[in-house]
Structure 1
Amino acid sequence: MTQSASNVAVVTASDSGIGKACAIALAKQGFDIGITWHSDQRGAEDTAGEVLKLGRKAQVLQLDLTQLPAAAEVIDQFSRSFGRLDMLVNNAGASAGAPFLDLSYEDWRSTFSIVLDGAFLCAQRAARHMVKQGQGGRIVNITSVHEHTPLPAAVAYTAAKHGLGGLAKSMALELSPYGILVNSVAPGMIATPINDMREEDAWTAKEPGIPLGRPGHVDEIASMVAWLGSEGAAYTTGQSFIIDGGFMLVNPQFKAQKAQAGK
């Protein structure tokens, strides 16, 4: 990716949490930012305000990944508006919490539509713009530690995140001749509203099942995404970067489930 004064990154679901932190981190690095939201327009506008304060351009568009394939046209809109596209962060996600025997097909398909189908379509459109520009690019999929290990009673989420990690590896191979680097970032427990936490809980909440003893902060994920968008990551592709406080070393969720099953 050729660094310039006008590099553009699109971060999906950047109205709050990890997505918002990624948008701000990339703006600090010199990117203009395309911001998407599904149901929280106000949050997206707040993110745009933070980007503008950093002296970068921002645009906000709604992205509803239940409306595919048409929804992915948002990527084309950003490219036309900014005049180029250099980086995509696929952050939008969803989860249907149900065991394998109880999961409905509708919930299975809905999870895959948002987590995997949407990421595929957005990445494909972004990559086409990058290929046409001829200056390389970066694509980052925000997966999860559950790209690598099951989450109990969340079979659709686990399968979709595994698929998202596999998609990144396949894209990395096929897009490498064009200088487009594709990687995954796999967070563990992060202090976000989806986990019923505030950001500051990353420094105060206790999580004894995690070796570092606490949840992660959104900035600890965003810093990796920002590095993947930098020149320092120019020789890095097809990788999955786990940021989990040591969770994968012990996977306490699986142990807890087995203990419960044995009672």
Structure 2
Amino acid sequence: MTGSADFAPTTAVITGSDSGIGRAVAVRLAEAGYDVGITWHTDERGAQETAEEVRAHGRRAVVSRLDLTELPDAAHIIDALADELGGLDVLVNNAGTGTATPFVDLDLPTVREVLDVDLVGPLLCGQRAARRMIEQGRGGRIVNITSVHEHQPRVGAGPYCAAKAGLGLLTQVMALELAEYRITVNAVAPGEIATPMTGQEDADVHAVSRPGIPLGRPGDAREVAEVVAFLTGPAASYVTGASWAVDGGMLRMGPMAGSHLDRNDWRRP
């Protein structure tokens, strides 16, 4: 097996790229010279806006709806987008969902939806991408967007935490099994990022105070995209099976938060 320093990716599919982190990744990869496959679930207009930004950088953009609750059939979209792009060098599994429901109040349909979208869907999409990359024979990159809750729990987010932790360990298995084909697989674990999912779309993150985060503010989606861009490019040829926290130091605050909280608000979602 040879190294992959000569890997020259030109095509990428980013799921859930109609807004937030997914859009930022799509635009950043377009800047780096990729043609981009964009997926959306409910926001087609947002996906078309992402496509316009990609094309503004002189790259091709193709758009398709992806509903990861419709498994296993939904995963065929990865092949369809790869066909339109003329190949697939990079997959970024970004589409996700969550819940803020106490454990004892969870219902099975909600649990299944979160697990399908956040874990089973990325697994099946990753399979499609890996098979395509193996067939092409030139290596590849898969990046799974997890969360800081891949590593630490959150009250009210049982299915989400379980799915993201599962996706983190799945990432490691994928990295081991796909290494012989020169396919690297890594996770990116964002903390609080200013996106529609956190109700902070287009917020000036430097104007928002977060004393509990060492860097004192939320992150910008473009800061996550920079890490993804590194992991998907030639410079990351010897990086695989790792989880990259992009969280302003949030994960380092466990014991400090435990000793400094003076209210019980954290006990409710």
- Fold shared per TM-score above 0.5: yes
Q: What SS does the aligned partner of 2:38 have? A: strand
Taking structure 2 as the reference length, what is the TM-score of the superposition?
A: 0.93
The counterpart of 1:159, out of the listed 159, 162, 172, is 162
Three-state SS of the structure 2 residue aligned to 1:101 is helix
- Show the 5 A alignment for 1:81-160: 81-160=84-163
Matched with 2:206 is 203
Native 8 Å contact 2:150 2:189 kept in 1:
yes
Answer with 235-244 or 248-257: which moved more. Answer: 248-257
Which residue is 1:63 aligned to? 66
TM-score by length of 1: 0.95
214, 218, 225: which is aligned to 2:217? 214
Q: 2:182 aligns with which of 179, 182, 189?
A: 179
Q: Once the 2 structures are TM-superposed, how far is the Cα of residue 253 of structure 1 from its aligned partner?
A: 11
Please give the alpha-carbon distance, in whole angstroms, between the structure 2 residues aligned to 1:175 and 1:62: 28
Q: CA RMSD in A?
A: 1.9
Question: Is contact 1:152–1:257 with CA below 8 Å preserved after alignment?
Answer: no
Q: Provide, for residues 10-33 of structure 1, a one-character-per-residue CA deviation record: whole Å limited to 9, x for no partner.
A: 000000000000000111111100
Q: 1:195 to 1:251 in 2, by over 3 A?
A: farther
Whether the 8 Å contact between 2:36 and 2:85 is mirrored in structure 1 is no
Percent identity of paired positions between Structure 1 and Structure 2:
51
Deviation at 1:254, TM superposition (A): 7.1
What SS class does the counterpart of residue 104 from structure 2 fall into? coil
Match of 1:234 in 2: 237
Q: Deviations over 1:32-62 (max 9, x none)?
A: 0000000000000001001111011100000
Report 1 or 2 for greater relative contact order, CA contacts < 8 Å, sequence distance ≥ 6: 2
The answer for the alignment partner of 2:82 in structure 1 is 79
Q: Distance in 1 between matches of 2:255 and 2:211?
A: 9
Change (3 A) 1:251 1:258: farther
Q: Distance in 1 between matches of 2:174 and 2:255?
A: 32
1:48 and 2:51 are equivalent in the alignment: yes
Aligned length: 261
Runs (4 or more) in structure 1 with deviation over 3 Å come to 1-4, 251-262
Distance 1:251 1:59 in 2: 42
Where in structure 2 are there 5+ consecutive unaligned residues? Answer: none
- CA–CA distance in 1 between the matches of 2:18 and 2:211? 30
- Aligned-partner SS, 1:10: strand
* Contact kept? 2:7, 2:139, Cα under 8 Å: no
| Amino acid corresponding to residue 100 of structure 1 in structure 2 | F
Question: For 1:77, what is the secondary structure of its paired residue?
Answer: helix
